Amino acid sequence: MRVDQPVAIQLADYTAPAFSVSRVELEFDLEPEFTLVTATQYLKRCDGGNDDLVLHGEELGLNSIRVNGRELREDQFTLTDELLTLSDLPDEFTLTIQNTINPAANTRLEGLYRSSTMYCTQCEAEGFRRITYFMDRPDVMTTYKVTIRADKETNPVLLSNGNNIENGELEGGRHYAVWEDPHAKPSYLFALVAGDLAKVEDTFTTKSGQDVTLRIFVEHGNETRCDYAMDSLKRSMRWDETRFDLEYDLNIFNIVAVSDFNMGAMENKSLNIFNDKYILADEKTGTDTDFDLIEGIVAHEYFHNWTGNRVTCRDWFQLSLKEGLTVFRDQEFSGDQRSHAVKRIEDVRMLRARQFPEDAGPLSHPVRPESYIEINNFYTATVYEKGAEVIRMMHTLLGEENFQKGMKLYFERHDGQAVTCDDFVAAMQDASGFDLTHFKLWYSQSGTPNVDVKSADYDQETQRYSLTLRQETKPTAGQASKQSLHIPLRVGLLGEAGEDQKCYLDGVEASEHLLHLKEEEQTFVFGNVVTKPVLSLNRGFTAPIHLKTGQSQAEMAFLMGNDHDSFNRWEAGQQYAAELLTKMVAEYQTGKDFSIDNDFVAAMGHIARNEDLEPAFKACALKLPSEEFVSEQMDLIDVDAIHAAREALRVAVATAHRAVFEEIYDHSTVHGVFEPTAEQAGLRDLRNTALAYMAAADANEAPALLKAHYEAADNMTDAVAGMRLITDYPGEMKKAVFDHFHDIWKDNAIVMDKWLGAQAISSHPDVLSDVKTLMDHPVFNFNNPNRLRALVGSFCIGNMVRFHAADGSGYNFLADIIIRLDKMNPQVSARLAGPLGQWKRFDEGRQIKMKSALQRVADVDGLSRDVFEVVSKSLV
Ligand code: TRP
Ligand code: ZN
């Protein structure tokens, strides 16, 4: 057991800071192992009283503290591992602190650290305190002037936030740069980069005519792989002007790509720092998914300039204020750039795979949490993706015009401030006149609501259709009782020909209505419904809920073929398949043969043959729900049964329509040069989906088919698709494919992550021993988060059936990794631990093994706060 049990921070304990900082000057003398930091802060007491000044600081070497120029004696301050406290201070004073740090020894990748040969920083959420002593909290906003001194030959590039106002030479081969950021910001948005970097440059003219210099800095040799990121940046800047009326506010915008990074990217003011995999791609190395992610993440970080930086969070409980809103904005951007229907399907698929299980498990928390031990653990699917759903529901309730009025009022009221989710909702409510009092419960109540159709009655004579819905949210970790939520549900009533019937609801005639479900049980009566309708509910997934309509398979098949709402058309197929798979799982468990539903197989055939469908959508519709999605529907997850049932259904669809899939495969080839466009990506996805069915139709022929596909591939998307399919068939052909890929790409770490990942997801029973062997391969590096996620993450999250092997080998493997990694990088280690927390969903044998793996981690001495929190909550 650890000696000092970490304590939880509570939202209810929030107090405003006792001092404000009017400006700060930072000086860095960079050396890999011994960097000197001199920080001068101009402080002012916020109101009368005699409060101490409490500064955060971790793993810093303290040299000196001066108040108004006078150095403090050791008895004039108190220093602990995490805090520096100064007492008896005047109301206004200058504080100069000098301290040292060791970037080369920083393996946590928080604060100032080294990645390859460069220096870079990561300060969100609480990394700035690893650079110098400071009130490291988002409601302390100030302007920064930064001087960087470093060896010129190894660090020709010196960057920080804002404008570069001065440069010069120094003795001993050193030089310096001074940067000044005119915008007040919290410390988590501070950034510094130094190194020998190449750059690509472009320009953007804002709608009011301001010229902005755009630069992307990368390691030498990568200059040619930034085009798509740069193009995405320019499109993001334009889109934010047209859709949100938001313009960039400086004449310079820098992005730096680094190869050691804990997360995706960071929105530091005018100096975004990126995980290099979300910048670097070209037509040879990038898959369509890579380009999609680059576009979305570049946009996300850029959009933070307004939603996050100009208006930031009062405290970290409000994280979704910036993250939920910014995810909503990047989703809308990608939808506007590509296809809204396909984007929505992808986002919902992700929400269900990540957020729904999180919300039903031991780490369940509201979009605005009320307590945390380590804030790094709260950069979750709930805060980000469910947070975006909450914003989206407000958008649905208010409509685009009122929503934009709300945004405008939000900025009028709060530009330059650190605020709360309540402030955001208040702006939306005041600008639109729409009462959001009940709706706000979505911020504080955790759990995914269940909505059931209790009854749906049609009366031919009166032409009335009455629909009774019930909602219920099950108790979640730390929240026993639940209230009814305000749930917006878009709905259509289909007629016999599949048309949306025009009908009345509350005196309004329309072919589509928005239901406001607020009570536990509520009946909606539609008038003028000419024929018995087929219900299409929660269109576009207007609410993030579990919905049970109780519809017959015939109705689901009808919706699959006819719904005007593309999302629900896809959804009907998913629900239909999930229902069948649940039945098949029961058959497997009772030792019966699988009964294959021929109507479903036929419905899939209709989709495959339908020439009117957009290829990208058709690819989505042809994919069976994931094993994760199916397990979401079951009380007790039986990974073997789910895997077997899904494979059987896949083979049945494949065998029945083999000729159609072959035809799709032959006719969906992209002609002309590779371009990362939505159209080409859709075609490639459709063709590779057909390929997967062709392989499933004949296991004996599969390896040869897939090898031929791999060899014919002239782009990374197709090559990786071949690799990820042939991985299930160990043998000479698989080996030839993987060896070939290795020989070509072994020097490109980002590309080799695809090679590692493809091996880790093999359904072959021996895959874990392959994964272990790969950990000794030269391309693998335990210290690099991307390599870990590609290999270990893919196995533990992307390979359900083998990670959950009944002998517990997967669990033991993961526990070993968590323990080893925690000593170096607690943030990434804690994030890997998630899957073990799902133990309650499994059979008793697995439960015991998962719990004992967790316990083994919990028993380690000196566990980080990050892992301690995840593991101790998971064991409850
Ligand atoms: N704010 C970042 C984003 O959403 C994510 C982030 C939070 C992050 N903490 C981090 C990135 C730590 C890297 C490391 O865009
Ligand atoms: Zn973000």
Shared-domain flag, residues 537 and 402: no
Contact 297, 236 (CB under 8 A): no
Distance from Cα 120 to the centre of ligand 1, integer Å = 14
Contact 560, 534 (CB under 8 A): no
From CA 100, how far away is CA 471, in angstroms rounded?
57
Q: pLDDT digit string (tens) for 196-247?
A: 999 999 999 999 999 999 999 999 999 999 999 999 999 999 999 999 999 9
Q: pLDDT digit string (tens) for 407-421?
A: 999 999 999 999 999
Q: What's the chain's Rg over C-alpha atoms?
A: 28
CATH label of the domain that carries residue 524: 2.60.40.1840
Shared-domain flag, residues 432 and 487: no
Last residue within a domain, chosen from 543, 570, 590 = 543
Average pLDDT in the 137-160 region? 98
Distance from Cα 134 to the centre of ligand 1, integer Å = 20
For the question of residue 611 being annotated catalytic, the response is no
Distance from Cα 200 to the centre of ligand 1, integer Å = 24
Residues with CB under 5 A from ligand 2 (ion): 323, 326
Average pLDDT in the 484-505 region? 98
- Residue 239, domain member (yes or no): no
If one counts every other C-beta atom within 10 angstroms of the C-beta of residue 259, the result is 21
Q: Which domain holds residue 501?
A: 450-543
Last residue within a domain, chosen from 196, 226, 260 = 196
From CA 162, how far away is CA 848, in angstroms rounded?
54
Q: pLDDT digit string (tens) for 778-788?
A: 999 999 999 99
- Residue 732, domain member (yes or no): no
Which of 476, 480, 235 is CA-nearest to residue 356? 476
User: Ligand 1, atom 15: nearest CA belongs to which residue?
Assistant: 266
Last residue within a domain, chosen from 196, 223, 240 = 196
For the stretch 858-862, contacts whose Cβ atoms lie closer than 8 Å and that sit 24 or more positions apart, written own/partner, are 859/1, 860/819, 860/822, 861/1, 861/2, 862/2
User: Ligand 1, atom 3: nearest CA belongs to which residue?
Assistant: 266
Region of residue 495 (phi > 0: left; psi between -120 and 50: alpha; otherwise: beta) = beta
- Residue 649, domain member (yes or no): no
Q: pLDDT digit string (tens) for 714-772?
A: 999 999 999 999 999 999 999 999 999 999 999 999 999 999 999 999 999 999 999 99
Q: pLDDT digit string (tens) for 664-692?
A: 999 999 999 999 999 999 999 999 999 99
Shared-domain flag, residues 37 and 166: yes
Q: Point out the least confidently predicted range of 2-6, 191-195, 668-672.
A: 2-6
Q: pLDDT digit string (tens) for 597-654?
A: 999 999 999 999 999 999 999 999 999 999 999 998 899 999 999 999 999 999 999 9
Please state, rounded to an integer, the average pLDDT across all residues of the chain: 98
Residue 324: partners with Cβ closer than 8 Å, 6 or more residues away: 367, 383, 384, 386, 387, 388, 389, 390, 391
Q: What is the pLDDT of residue 1?
A: 41
Q: pLDDT digit string (tens) for 414-464?
A: 999 999 999 999 999 999 999 999 999 999 999 999 999 999 999 999 999
Shared-domain flag, residues 425 and 480: no
- Residue 530, domain member (yes or no): yes
Query: What are residue 189's phi and psi, to 5 degrees?
Result: -100, 5
Shared-domain flag, residues 532 and 503: yes
Shared-domain flag, residues 481 and 383: no
Q: pLDDT digit string (tens) for 850-872?
A: 999 999 999 999 999 999 999 99
Please tell me the total count of domains within the chain.
3
Residue 851: partners with Cβ closer than 8 Å, 6 or more residues away: 839, 875
From CA 334, how far away is CA 500, in angstroms rounded?
28
Shared-domain flag, residues 379 and 527: no
Average pLDDT in the 368-394 region? 98
CATH label of the domain that carries residue 50: 2.60.40.1730
323 Cβ below 6 A of ligand 1 = yes
CATH label of the domain that carries residue 337: 1.10.390.10
Q: What is the pLDDT of residue 4?
A: 67
- Residue 50, domain member (yes or no): yes
262 Cβ below 6 A of ligand 1 = yes
- Residue 820, domain member (yes or no): no
Shared-domain flag, residues 454 and 434: no
pLDDT above 80: residue 774: yes
From CA 344, how far away is CA 340, in angstroms rounded?
6
315 Cβ below 6 A of ligand 1 = no
Shared-domain flag, residues 440 and 454: no
pLDDT above 60: residue 132: yes
Distance from Cα 261 to the centre of ligand 1, integer Å = 10
Q: pLDDT digit string (tens) for 544-568?
A: 999 999 999 999 999 999 999 999 9
Q: What is the pLDDT of residue 821?
A: 98
Catalytic residue among 301, 323, 332, 628: 301
- Residue 811, domain member (yes or no): no
**pTM beyond 0.85, yes or no:** yes
Shared-domain flag, residues 484 and 409: no
The structure tokens listed for 50 are 């005699």
- Residue 336, domain member (yes or no): yes
pLDDT above 80: residue 164: yes
Q: Is 302 exposed, middle or buried (0-12, 13-18, 19+ CB in 10 A)?
A: buried
Shared-domain flag, residues 459 and 512: yes
> Which of the four pLDDT bands, split at 50, 70 and 90, describes residue 48?
confident
From CA 134, how far away is CA 183, in angstroms rounded?
18
Shared-domain flag, residues 430 and 392: yes
| Preceding peptide of 150 cis, ω within 30° | no
> Which of the four pLDDT bands, split at 50, 70 and 90, describes residue 5?
confident
List the end-to-end C-alpha distance of the chain, in Å, as a whole number.
16
Contact 792, 836 (CB under 8 A): no
Average pLDDT in the 499-520 region? 98
Contact 61, 36 (CB under 8 A): no
124 Cβ below 6 A of ligand 1 = yes
Residue 326 Cα: closest atom of ligand 1: 4
